[in-house]
Amino acid sequence: MNDGCKKYIPFRQIPLPDRTWPQQTITKAPIWCSVDLRDGNQALIDPMNLEEKLEFFKLLVDVGFKEIEIGFPSASDTEFEICRALIERHLIPDDVTIQVLVQAREHLIRKTFDAIHGAKNVIVHFYNSTSTLQRKIVFRKDMDGIVDIAVEAAKLIRQLTEKEVAETGMNIRYEYSPESFSGTEVENSVLICDKVLEALGATPENKVILNLPDTVEMCTPNTFADQVEYCIRNIQHRDCAVISVHPHNDRGTGVAATELALLAGAERVEGTLFGNGERTGNVDIVTLAMNMYSQGINPQLDFSDIHHVRDVYERCTEMKVPPRQPYAGDLVFTAFSGSHQDAIKKGVDYMHAQESPYWEVPYLPIDPADIGREYEPIIRINSQSGKGGAAFVMQQDFGFNLPKVMHPEFGAVVKHACDKAGRELMPKEIYSLFSKEYLEVSSPYNLKSYKLYEENGDAKQEAGSAQVRFDGTLCIHQEDHAISAAGNGPIDAFFRALAQVGITDYKFVTYQEHAISRGADSKAVSYIHLKDAEGKDAFGIGIDNNISIASIKGVICAINRSKRA
Ligand code: KIV
Ligand code: ZN
């Protein structure tokens, strides 16, 4: 197979040694034009029907597109009807311009003008292919012949526009695409673009959109950027044109090619949501816009409810957004790996602690909440996940701030369950493991009743240092034992009471507590760390309305768990 590559001709580089685009940065959003309803739609196994197209159009308007290519009205009756429906049902907002595509052929151009009659703002987008390959094998024409096709079409469009504008006052603008620009010698692209601008009578006040399609990605994005910069610098009537790009994604670098083309001076971008479109698709506008957003640039498109955008897209096109699709895929804000989980948790904690106005969380290029994804588990648990991951889920989803010292123990419980199940565990399954491990532990010692109260200090004690008394019933092997003792605090009193039934092997190490909202009421949760007679750690958790009782429950839980182990 390897020598098979010899049949491919390497792409010719562009003569532009003084290229300037590498020194530029993107500082503002381009003019966006959605071609979902044309390039996207024509690439579907089942193209959208009228109602689907209308729903999709509304979505594009809601997202904020001001220029929307609605189809190829001369191509079929359905396309024609869709254009008429949008116009006649008054579905096009005044600040939105519809764009219609047509080949540079007389009868198609005439039909297109019939289709757009009565619309307020229209871009008539015409094209012919200019590439070296198509000239040679499809049209069998030299470049002059190709220029003639474009110029004749331009003249007809100008003439039909003048008539239409005189009759209806429509606002008609023009767009010309040298199709397969990416496969055309740059000198020829410049030549045809200038001729078209002249034929259309473009002026700095009435600019024409020159759309430079990367129809088939044939080279690395830097070379596409060179092609764009070359044209911008060499087109004579540059001031009469808006430079647009229309990248496809054959090499998987559509987004990069577009970003570099913007550095090279492109002012407008045509693409689709999630990169739908011919073959590997058009450039994905969601990714482009969110990439800008992540650099502090307002993309002027609203993807704050990406679920909705995705829903409409998937329903209307019957395409699926892959799980790893930037920003929109199911898995892109999810960390399975332990070290990633740990860093994300630290980033989130850091941001809360610092009250930082900036997003500074490792592994998450943007705040998922900005696109409406705040309720998804950022951290998901499988057997690759580390000890911090399960603790993060307990905190994020259930409000338990497990002390760090307990993370390895609970992490191991969860990992074991993942290995056993052979799959990812959902948060509620993690909670259920937690509950079984710490909250449903009542043997061998079952604390059946408990009471804590302050005793008056005896005469020898200083005022204000009253002792706490614990009274309770501890069931051991089906037998109830009344226990009662006083101590310096609830935990001390409880330990003394336990000593009455021979439980003396445990040393208190530390405890942590916090309030937790469970349903309507707020409770206290207490995390207890003991050491047994052999110095082994024993952890327990107690929950109660009363913080002191929560600690006592935590102590008995720790002892029970250590006995069980
Ligand atoms: O990819 C392309 O070249 C096109 C043109 C018709 C603009 O879709
Ligand atoms: Zn295209």
Question: 111, 126 in Cβ contact below 8 A?
Answer: no
Ligand 1 contact via 270 beta carbon (within 6 Å): no
Is residue 74 pLDDT above 70, yes or no? yes
Ligand 1 contact via 121 beta carbon (within 6 Å): no
Residue at which a domain ends, from 260, 293, 326: 293
Ligand 1 contact via 161 beta carbon (within 6 Å): no
Ligand 1 contact via 177 beta carbon (within 6 Å): yes
User: Which residues lie at CB < 5 A from ion ligand 2?
Assistant: 39
Ligand 1 contact via 128 beta carbon (within 6 Å): no
Residue 334 vs residue 75, higher pLDDT = 75
Strand order in the sheet with 537-544: 507-518, 521-531, 537-544
Q: How far is the CA of 329 from the centre of ligand 2 (A)?
A: 24
In a domain, 171, yes or no: yes
pLDDT (mean) for 122-141? 89
Tokens 């003639």 belong to which residue? 148
Q: Are residues 271 and 359 in the same domain?
A: no
In a domain, 14, yes or no: no
CA 213 to ligand 1: nearest atom:
3
For residue 81, the enclosing domain spans: 29-293
Ligand 1 contact via 40 beta carbon (within 6 Å): no
Q: How far is the CA of 179 from the centre of ligand 2 (A)?
A: 8
Q: Are residues 269 and 247 in the same domain?
A: yes
Q: Provide the number of structural domains found in the chain.
A: 3
Residue-level pLDDT at 519: 59
The 3-state DSSP class for residue 16 equals coil
In a domain, 81, yes or no: yes
DSSP states of 168-207 as a string? H--EEEEEEEEETGGGS-HHHHHHHHHHHHHHHT--SSS-
Q: Whose atoms come closest to the Cα of 215: which ligand?
A: 1
Ligand 1 contact via 39 beta carbon (within 6 Å): yes
Q: How far is the CA of 215 from the centre of ligand 2 (A)?
A: 6
Instruction: Give the start-end residues of each E strand in 236-343.
Output: 241-247, 268-271
In a domain, 131, yes or no: yes
Query: What's the sign of the alpha-carbon dihedral 369, 372, 374, 378?
Result: negative
Residue at which a domain ends, from 238, 269, 293: 293
For the chain, percent of residues with pLDDT exceeding 70: 97
Residue-level pLDDT at 375: 41
User: What are the tens digits of pLDDT across the range 217-248?
Assistant: 999 999 999 999 999 999 999 999 999 999 99
What is the spatial distance between Cα 432 and Cα 413, in angstroms, rounded to a whole number? 11
pLDDT (mean) for 153-170? 97
For the chain, percent of residues with pLDDT exceeding 90: 84
Burial category of 470 from C-beta neighbours within 10 Å (exposed 0-12, middle 13-18, buried 19 and up): buried
In a domain, 303, yes or no: no
Q: Are residues 474 and 410 in the same domain?
A: no
Of the pLDDT bands very low, low, confident and very high (cuts 50, 70, 90), residue 377 is low
Q: Whose atoms come closest to the Cα of 180: which ligand?
A: 1
- C-alpha pair distances (Å), 17 with each of 13, 21, 226, 258, 543: 10, 11, 9, 20, 71
CA 129 to ligand 1: nearest atom:
3
- Which CATH number characterizes residue 488's domain? 3.30.160.270
Instruction: Give the start-end residues of each E strand in 428-555.
Output: 445-455, 467-476, 479-487, 507-518, 521-531, 537-544
Ligand 1 contact via 215 beta carbon (within 6 Å): yes
Which conformational region is residue 90 in: left (phi greater than 0), alpha (psi within -120 to 50 degrees), or beta?
left
Q: How far is the CA of 327 from the centre of ligand 1 (A)?
A: 26
Q: Are residues 417 and 479 in the same domain?
A: no
**Smallest CA separation from ligand 1 atom 8, residue:** 39
Mean of pLDDT over the chain: 93
User: What are the tens digits of pLDDT across the range 385-397?
Assistant: 777 889 988 988 8
Q: Are residues 278 and 417 in the same domain?
A: no
Q: Is the peptide bond before 444 cis (omega within 30 degrees of 0)?
A: yes
CA 101 to ligand 1: nearest atom:
6
**Smallest CA separation from ligand 1 atom 1, residue:** 215
| Angle, CA 524 vertex, CA 520 and CA 527 arms, to 5° | 140
| Mutation pick for ligand 1 pocket among 33, 36, 38, 39 (CB with most ligand atoms within 8 Å) | 39
Q: Are residues 432 and 511 in the same domain?
A: no
Q: Are residues 433 and 464 in the same domain?
A: no
Ligand 1 contact via 67 beta carbon (within 6 Å): no
Average the pLDDT over each of 147-161, 338-352, 447-461 and give the range with the smallest value.
Answer: 447-461
In a domain, 194, yes or no: yes
- Which CATH number characterizes residue 110's domain? 3.20.20.70
In a domain, 333, yes or no: no
Question: 269, 255 in Cβ contact below 8 A?
Answer: no
Q: Are residues 408 and 523 in the same domain?
A: no
User: What are the tens digits of pLDDT across the range 495-539?
Assistant: 999 999 999 999 999 999 999 976 567 899 999 999 999 999 999
Question: 352, 396 in Cβ contact below 8 A?
Answer: no
Q: How far is the CA of 130 from the centre of ligand 2 (A)?
A: 14
| Mutation pick for ligand 1 pocket among 72, 108, 227, 248 (CB with most ligand atoms within 8 Å) | 248
Residue spans of alpha helices (H) in 219-297: 221-234, 254-263, 285-293
Q: Are residues 84 and 153 in the same domain?
A: yes
- 307 closest CA partner among 376, 379, 254, 393: 376
Distance of CA 507 to the CA centre of its chain: 50
In a domain, 316, yes or no: no
Q: Are residues 410 and 454 in the same domain?
A: no
Please list the residues that pair with 68 across neighbouring strands.
Answer: 34, 98
Tokens 């898995």 belong to which residue? 331
What global pTM score does this model have? 0.79
The residue count for the chain: 565
Ligand 1 contact via 179 beta carbon (within 6 Å): yes
CA 270 to ligand 1: nearest atom:
7
Q: How far is the CA of 89 from the centre of ligand 1 (A)?
A: 28
Residue-level pLDDT at 459: 40
The 3-state DSSP class for residue 244 equals strand
pLDDT (mean) for 31-39? 98
Instruction: Give the start-end residues of each E strand in 21-72.
Output: 31-34, 67-71
Of the pLDDT bands very low, low, confident and very high (cuts 50, 70, 90), residue 45 is very high
| Mutation pick for ligand 1 pocket among 209, 215, 243, 282 (CB with most ligand atoms within 8 Å) | 215
User: 387-398 and 407-421 are packed helices; what angle lies between their axes, rounded to 10 degrees?
Assistant: 100
Ligand 1 contact via 249 beta carbon (within 6 Å): no
User: What are the tens digits of pLDDT across the range 172-183?
Assistant: 999 999 999 999
Of the pLDDT bands very low, low, confident and very high (cuts 50, 70, 90), residue 339 is confident
Residue at which a domain ends, from 405, 437, 469: 437
Q: How far is the CA of 167 from the centre of ligand 1 (A)?
A: 31
Which two structure tokens, joined as six digits, stand for 192? 């045809």
- 160 closest CA partner among 209, 107, 196: 107
Q: Are residues 407 and 458 in the same domain?
A: no
Q: How far is the CA of 247 from the centre of ligand 1 (A)?
A: 9
- C-alpha pair distances (Å), 177 with each of 105, 244, 522: 14, 9, 65
Q: Are residues 115 and 217 in the same domain?
A: yes
User: What are the tens digits of pLDDT across the range 490-502?
Assistant: 999 999 999 999 9
